[in-house]
Amino acid sequence: SQQGEEDPQALSIQEGENATMNCSYKTSINNLQWYRQNSGRGLVHLILIRSNEREKHSGRLRVTLDTSKKSSSLLITASRAADTASYFCATDVRGGTSYGKLTFGQGTILTVHP
């Protein structure tokens, strides 16, 4: 599997439900970030969690990080139709020249039905 691999590849839910996306990675990281991409648009940063953090909240978003399992999850609570987008995790790999060289997964396509 690749560094920063999301699961599931696609998720379809009803408005008001919670959406959970998972990300696994292979190497040690400085931090892990989640981005959102609407169709045909650029990426928007959602949240960053550092390697020494276990959980972080931002509005309706909750991110967890388990460095022992090399995995992270993104929870969107009380989803809205406007949350429909692709969600990517990106890892900042520890060591070497990690100058903005984020490693992105292939993303989870979230569809929220009104």
Partner 1 sequence: NAGVMQNPRHLVRRRGQEARLRCSPMKGHSHVYWYRQLPEEGLKFMVYLQKENIIDESGMPKERFSAEFPKEGPSILRIQQVVRGDSAAYFCASSPHGGGLNTGELFFGEGSRLTVL
- 3-class SS at 106? coil
Amino acid at 73: S
The residue (of 41 and 54) whose beta carbon lies closer to partner 1 is: 41
- Minimum CB separation of residue 84 from partner 1 in Å reads 17
User: Would you tell me which residues interact with partner 1 (CB under 8 A)?
Assistant: 4, 30-31, 33, 35, 41-45, 48, 88, 90, 92, 94-95, 97-107
- Minimum CB separation of residue 101 from partner 1 in Å reads 5
Position of tokens 């929220």?
Answer: 112
What is d(CA 27, CA 31) in angstroms, rounded to the nearest whole number?
11
- Minimum CB separation of residue 90 from partner 1 in Å reads 8
The residue (of 14 and 106) whose beta carbon lies closer to partner 1 is: 106
The angle subtended at Cα 47 by Cα 95 and Cα 20, nearest 5°, is: 105
The residue (of 79 and 86) whose beta carbon lies closer to partner 1 is: 86
- 3-class SS at 82? helix
- Minimum CB separation of residue 45 from partner 1 in Å reads 5
The residue (of 83 and 105) whose beta carbon lies closer to partner 1 is: 105
According to DSSP, residue 81 is labeled G
CB 5 within 8 A of CB 23: yes
